[in-house]
């Protein structure tokens, strides 16, 4: 087991903000369109089911982490041994890097579509990664602080969305339960992959003071994001017709276009800029987890791995130029995230339980 210095650990309540910040990423801007295609206006039911599923997986994660200092690397070693466990660690390094790539490129596309069509992707990514490197190099406590501000500062947007109320029609929701169970479950799957990210606690758990005390904060974070998704879903379905929603690529930002204030005409620009605050800790935590697992697996210095991973992704991002490429990037990450969270983690929990019972008997 690992021994982490107390000054490098975060307080248990910070887990609330870290979990919430990883779940509210680029997918939050487009999820309404995806779920509406599957279950229409009954998709709000899928939001609740997806939220419950995240709590179940989080419960399994904390069960696996009940040993002091446990993390994903030590669990893999317990279950699969040193070499095979190391291989699984490297697969997770690839997964977190893919998450970093997906979140960054999706946000850059957002900036290109809504603000700067002729944006130099390489230069923007370079300056963005300089900021990310500085945050990750400063440690998990700094990333936790960024996560705190990424939730607290944009909270005003919750009230800004209320400007659309005069243009909503809540009769859109009737008749309720107008779709089959299969369609609602498909919408649930679409949402579960949007709400991934909380699995990062498997890596940074040893850096939490009194780790098991953070369990309630992790579940509060999941509840918070579920309510945010439900709130946005209800407003979106009341504002857009079902056909409009299926054709609108960025429903969340499109709703902000209705907002007009005396001092600003295009409020959606503020939304795009504010999303940078939300995205930065998201990117930082993925990079930190990838570099931490590399350090635990191949004993490479974490700072060197951070530089190397950022350099590789910096070269890849400018090659993804078209909407189709970015869309496929999101789809593949969603599929992988679904497999890891809802298939692999429960399977790992079962295998770890068996191993621990065998060792206990011995």
Question: Average pLDDT of 330-335?
Answer: 86
Query: Which residues form the domain of 213?
Result: 6-361
Q: Residue 189: what pLDDT? A: 87
Does residue 1 register a pLDDT over 60?
A: no
Supply the pTM of this predicted model.
Answer: 0.92
CA–CA separation, 66 vs 60, rounded Å?
10
Does residue 94 register a pLDDT over 60?
A: yes
Q: Is residue 192 part of a domain?
A: yes
Average pLDDT, the chain: 88
**Residue 73 pLDDT grade (very low, low, confident, very high; cuts 50, 70, 90):** very high
Domain CATH code at residue 61: 1.20.1740.10
Q: Residue 257: what pLDDT? A: 80
Q: Is residue 1 part of a domain?
A: no
**Residue 247 pLDDT grade (very low, low, confident, very high; cuts 50, 70, 90):** confident
In sign, the C-alpha dihedral spanning 79, 80, 83, 85 is negative
Q: Residue 133: what pLDDT? A: 94
CA–CA separation, 292 vs 173, rounded Å?
46
Q: Residue 2: what pLDDT? A: 57
Q: Is residue 199 part of a domain?
A: yes
| In contact, 45 and 184? CB cutoff 8 Å | yes
Percent of the chain with pLDDT over 70: 98
How many structural domains comprise the chain? 1
Chain segment 30-51, per-residue pLDDT in tens: 888 888 888 888 889 999 999 9
Question: Average pLDDT of 197-218?
Answer: 91
Q: Residue 80: what pLDDT? A: 92
Q: Residue 88: what pLDDT? A: 95
Chain segment 12-29, per-residue pLDDT in tens: 999 999 999 999 877 788
DSSP states of 75-114: HHHHHH-HHHHHHHHHHHHHHHHHHHHHHHHHHHHHHHHH
Min mean pLDDT across 106-110, 183-187, 267-271, 284-288 is at 267-271
Q: Residue 294: what pLDDT? A: 93
Enumerate residues 6+ apart whose C-beta is below 8 A from 56. none
Chain segment 162-188, per-residue pLDDT in tens: 888 888 888 878 878 878 888 888 888
Q: Residue 92: what pLDDT? A: 95
Enumerate residues 6+ apart whose C-beta is below 8 A from 111. 119, 124, 272
Q: Residue 268: what pLDDT? A: 75
CA–CA separation, 322 vs 319, rounded Å?
9
- What is the signed CA dihedral for 18, 22, 24, 25, rounded to 10 degrees? 140
Q: Residue 263: what pLDDT? A: 66
Chain segment 285-328, per-residue pLDDT in tens: 999 999 999 999 988 888 899 999 999 999 999 998 888 888 88
Q: Residue 32: what pLDDT? A: 87
């Amino acid at each position: 087991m690992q021994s982490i210095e107390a000054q490098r650990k975060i307080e248990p309540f910070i887990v609330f903000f870290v979990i919430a910040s990883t779940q509210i990423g680029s997918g939050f801007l487009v999820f309404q369109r995806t779920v509406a295609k599957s279950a229409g206006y009954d998709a709000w039911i899928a939001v609740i089911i997806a939220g419950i599923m995240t709590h179940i997986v989080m419960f399994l994660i904390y069960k696996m982490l009940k040993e002091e200092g446990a993390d994903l690397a030590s669990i893999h070693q317990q279950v699969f041994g040193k070499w095979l466990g190391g291989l699984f660690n490297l697969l997770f390094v690839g997964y977190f890097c893919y998450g970093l790539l997906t979140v960054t490129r999706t946000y850059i596309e957002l900036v290109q579509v809504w603000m700067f069509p002729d944006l130099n992707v390489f230069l923007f990514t370079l300056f963005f990664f300089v900021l990310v490197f500085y945050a990750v190099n400063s440690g998990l406590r700094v990333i936790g602080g960024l996560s705190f501000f990424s939730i607290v500062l944009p909270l005003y947007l919750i009230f800004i969305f209320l400007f659309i109320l005069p243009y909503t029609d809540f009769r859109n929701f009737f008749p309720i339960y107008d779709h089959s169970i299969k369609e609602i479950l498909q919408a649930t799957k679409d949402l579960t992959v949007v709400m991934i990210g909380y699995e990062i606690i498997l890596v940074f758990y040893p850096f939490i003071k009194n780790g098991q005390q953070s369990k309630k904060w992790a579940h509060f974070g999941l509840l918070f994001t579920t309510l945010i998704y439900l709130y946005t879903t209800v407003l979106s379905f009341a504002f857009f017709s079902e056909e409009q929603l299926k054709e609108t690529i960025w429903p969340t930002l499109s709703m902000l276009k209705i907002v007009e204030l005396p001092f600003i005409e295009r409020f959606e620009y503020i939304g795009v800029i504010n999303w940078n605050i939300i995205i930065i800790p998201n990117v930082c935590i993925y990079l930190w987890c990838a570099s931490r697992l590399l350090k635990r697996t191949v004993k490479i210095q974490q700072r060197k791995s951070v530089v190397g991973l950022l350099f590789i992704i910096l070269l890849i991002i400018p090659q993804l130029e078209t909407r189709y490429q970015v869309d496929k990037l999101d789809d593949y990450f969603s599929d992988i995230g679904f497999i890891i969270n809802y298939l692999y983690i429960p399977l790992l929990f079962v295998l770890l339980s068996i191993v621990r019972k065998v060792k206990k008997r011995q």
